[in-house]
Structure 1
Amino acid sequence: MFEDLLLAIRDWFYAVEGETITGFIILLSLSTTVHIFIRVWVIRLLHKLDEKTSSEWYAEIIKARLPQRALMMVPLIFLYLGVDFVPGLNEAFEGFVMRFTAALMILVTARVIDALLTSVHAIYRMLPKSDLRPIKSYIQLGKLIVYIFALIFIIASLSDQSPWYFLSGIGAIMAILLLIFRDTLLSLVASVQLTNNDLIRIGDWIEMPNFGADGDVVDISLNTVRVQNFDKTITVIPTHKFLDHSFRNWRGMSEAGGRRIMRALHIDLTSVRFLNYKEIQELRKSHLLKAYIDGKMEQIMAYNETHLGDHPAVLTNARWLTNLGTFRAYVIEYLKRHPRSKKELLMLVRQLEPTDRGLPLQVYVFTNTTVWAEYEAIQADIFDHLLAVLPEFGLRVYQQPSGADFRSLDRKTDQRPRY
């Protein structure tokens, strides 16, 4: 076909009359002039209009180059329609020019739709709740489909065949397309599930240890999800990996407005004992413990009067306050009155199973902020106080002996005279 076209162009070049060449040159010149006029004046006018208007959506349309690309269609239409008016133009050459121009028009149309989709996405991002339903992956899929069809129509135009001729044979190459676009198709399915099930949003804090991701989601696209870690590095995760690997989303914490503190104090088991009466009276002076001690002592006295019987001096027959139980009550009251604890969320102090490192006394409370620095400061403030007040209850924190402890012990046991 192309050999026949070249022969036709050669024959037309030798047989063509001067007015035909002149007419074709004039047509090209007029099309070029229209193109230059649009590039220099019309587009410049659009930019000046953008500077004078405060419309955000218009600025996004200009930024996506939608009108610029659409106006490129004008010289092509001028050329496509003007070929018929060139006198004496060879039919084969005229057909080639029209098919080539039509192919360019298809390409420009695809680029216009590309810019339109980009503008739609940018305008959608201006909406207050756009992060809840990101559509970037759908926009990218739409662009991919547009360019695939544009490629088919361009090939059909240049070869002077019907597009259905190529579309009918697309099933034969489906296996190759599936192989080439395997990750894209998997990512499309993953993206649909992530968005429809609202699993991740832009701005969510996620953890995905398999990829070393621990930070905020900054972008969700068709093929990748970008996470900015807290050390300001960027982790790029293929979208379809979110269906294969588990991840943690901290959005619930942010929406609740409180972040959990779950840390244990390891109490030395040898320091747990009953309080004597003098210690109880001293602890009763604390406004955090007065109500607890009064109520507890009333229950204890009533129980002891009923159950002590003939052995009032036997401690195992009676009930009494322990330093650990009183300390737990103190911690609860302290947390309830702490100005940075979130009172409406779960708050408790519980004993865990004793280990060779002592008795873990776990503090479980939520702060009224999710800001990392503030959360760490509140947590440190709470445990600073608890560690400092612990000796007032006769309790000790368990700590494994260090080298300095062994050296001190060695000096105490070695009492030999030194000369």
Structure 2
Amino acid sequence: MTDWGVDQSHLPLTATLLSAATIIFAAIIIYWIMSGPVSRLVNKKISGSKTLLDDYLLPPSTIHVICIVTVTILCANFLPPVFRYYPSVSVYTDKGCSIINIAGISWVITSVAKGACDYLSHTETNRGGSLVLRNLVTTIVWSIAALLSISILLNRDLAYVISGLGAMAAVLMLVFKDSILGMTAGIRLTINKMLKVNDWVSVPKYGAEGRVEDLTLTAIKIRNWDQSVSSVPPHALISDGFTNHEAMLEKGVRQIRRTFNVDVNSIRRLSPEEMNQFAGEPWTKNINLQKPQVNLTLFRKWLRQEIADLPDLSPEPRFFVKEHPHTSSGIPIEIHLFVKCVNWVRFEELQADFLDNIIAAVHHFGLRLYQAPAGHDLLSLKNDTRS
């Protein structure tokens, strides 16, 4: 190099810079080859294969990550010897390149793990478990990478770094409280199959009701029926409780449960003339209409028959009509049944038609439903007092 006009004292520095430039240039060429022809060839082979697993494990994004990591690892392994004549620089290059190696390997592992979890979520119904597993693997891998990087920077053993973290346990617990609680709650929710993506859930404390869109270590995203989005901590579902309606939908039935408050003043025994209107109806075949009957008793028997005649009635669980104790609002009559209809619009229509029929039939038995006086009722009362 002295023939090129380079001073003898600058030869080591010049050789070092040229070597580093050569390595970087070679890395650029290798990256161009890998991200170009090699990547296209690999993608073509993967897309042409009959198996679905390789499509998820090695998508174009993961192959691109592997190309970048391969080049950086090559640089990280070839650059440190170049600076061996400069110990002050070599210390930092050695540590920096080691950290780059760790970060690159972690990046590849998490990318492949993401693909594997995506494959599991595609082939299994429990997509929420795959999401939690992906978050768990990512957290563990990057936590180990962070510990290894710290040990390299401090030039200490990994055991020393871990023991040092013990002294900071209180601070770490405070900083990563949500992540730790979310991780344990997410694992419990997944293992016990309590929750998965696309489940219909209700979380009353947070005013959330809708479909689960995403599960992470720190939040569960719920798309409410009004299209707003609620973010609920996973540990809140364990500590405060929630309702998962998905089992009801999977069984193919939905519940109709309503209570009608009958005005006590309208309950009486019907006269023979009033009972004649029910003669010949199927629900009266075991009733002696020649004897005075209580109108509320007849109403309950008619109600049972109406429920039994519903074309969409589910035989299991069993339906019932229950009379509750007397209250200040009358006598509550509760109906409890299940119908074989999970379509939201059709269910609401079926339920409304059935309840409307019950309300319209009450006066045929000489009964009245309780309603707190308001509006027209008070106006009628005022007119009656004047007259």
The alignment partner of 1:295 has SS state of: coil
Work out which of the residue numbers 322, 330, 335 in structure 1 matches 2:294: 322
**1:238 and 1:393 mapped to 2: Cα distance?**
52
Work out which of the residue numbers 155, 158, 168 in structure 2 matches 1:173: 168
**2:196 and 2:80 mapped to 1: Cα distance?**
55
Is the 8 Å Cα contact of residues 211 and 223 (structure 2) preserved in structure 1? yes
**1:1-80 residue pairs with structure 2 within 5 A?**
14-16=10-12, 21-47=17-43, 56-63=52-59, 65-79=61-75
Match of 1:124 in 2: 120
Match of 1:379 in 2: 351
After TM superposition, give the deviation of residue 278 of structure 1 in Å: 3.4
After TM superposition, give the deviation of residue 197 of structure 1 in Å: 2.7
Match of 2:220 in 1: 225
Q: 1:385 to 1:22 in 2, by over 3 A?
A: closer
2:260 paired with 1:260:
no
Q: TM-score, normalised by structure 1?
A: 0.78
Q: TM-score, normalised by structure 2?
A: 0.84
Work out which of the residue numbers 367, 372, 388 in structure 1 matches 2:360: 388
2:335 paired with 1:363:
yes
> Match of 1:25, as an amino acid?
A
After TM superposition, give the deviation of residue 167 of structure 1 in Å: 4.1
Range moving further from structure 2, 373-382 or 246-255: 246-255
Deviations 1:278-328 (A, max 9, x none): 333331222x32xxx34232xx98xxxxxxxxxxxxxxxxx6422221221
Is the 8 Å Cα contact of residues 58 and 112 (structure 2) preserved in structure 1? no
The alignment partner of 1:134 has SS state of: helix
After TM superposition, give the deviation of residue 150 of structure 1 in Å: 1.7
**1:182 and 1:117 mapped to 2: Cα distance?**
25
Deviations 1:358-416 (A, max 9, x none): 3222222222223333332222111211222222222233334444344445556656x
Work out which of the residue numbers 353, 356, 371 in structure 2 matches 1:399: 371
Q: 1:322 to 1:36 in 2, by over 3 A?
A: same
Match of 2:4 in 1: none
Is the 8 Å Cα contact of residues 83 and 94 (structure 1) preserved in structure 2? no
Q: 1:184 to 1:281 in 2, by over 3 A?
A: same
Deviations 1:42-87 (A, max 9, x none): 334445556656754333334473222223343345445655997x
Work out which of the residue numbers 228, 237, 240 in structure 1 matches 2:235: 240
Task: State the Cα RMSD in Å.
Answer: 3.3
The alignment partner of 2:287 has SS state of: helix
> Match of 1:203, as an amino acid?
N
Match of 2:245 in 1: 250
Work out which of the residue numbers 177, 185, 196 in structure 2 matches 1:182: 177
Aligned sequence identity (%): 23
Work out which of the residue numbers 270, 278, 286 in structure 2 matches 1:295: 286
**1:137 and 1:285 mapped to 2: Cα distance?**
62
Q: 1:81 to 1:13 in 2, by over 3 A?
A: farther
Is the 8 Å Cα contact of residues 320 and 337 (structure 2) preserved in structure 1? yes
**1:335 and 1:234 mapped to 2: Cα distance?**
38
Match of 1:347 in 2: 319
The alignment partner of 2:314 has SS state of: coil
**1:142 and 1:94 mapped to 2: Cα distance?**
34
Is the 8 Å Cα contact of residues 208 and 222 (structure 2) preserved in structure 1? yes
Q: 1:63 to 1:211 in 2, by over 3 A?
A: farther
**1:218 and 1:147 mapped to 2: Cα distance?**
25
Deviations 1:209-267 (A, max 9, x none): 22111122222221111111111111111112223313222234224432222212222
> Match of 1:389, as an amino acid?
A
Is the 8 Å Cα contact of residues 202 and 210 (structure 2) preserved in structure 1? yes
> Match of 1:371, as an amino acid?
N
After TM superposition, give the deviation of residue 332 of structure 1 in Å: 0.4
Range moving further from structure 2, 240-249 or 58-67: 58-67
After TM superposition, give the deviation of residue 143 of structure 1 in Å: 1.6
Q: 1:391 to 1:15 in 2, by over 3 A?
A: same
**2:273 and 2:201 mapped to 1: Cα distance?**
52
**1:94-105 residue pairs with structure 2 within 5 A?**
97-105=93-101
Report how many aligned residue pairs link the two structures: 380
Q: Please identify runs of 4+ aligned residues in structure 1 that moved more than 6 A.
A: none
**1:138-157 residue pairs with structure 2 within 5 A?**
138-157=133-152
2:198 paired with 1:203:
yes
> Match of 1:223, as an amino acid?
T
Range moving further from structure 2, 32-41 or 170-179: 170-179
**1:368 and 1:352 mapped to 2: Cα distance?**
27
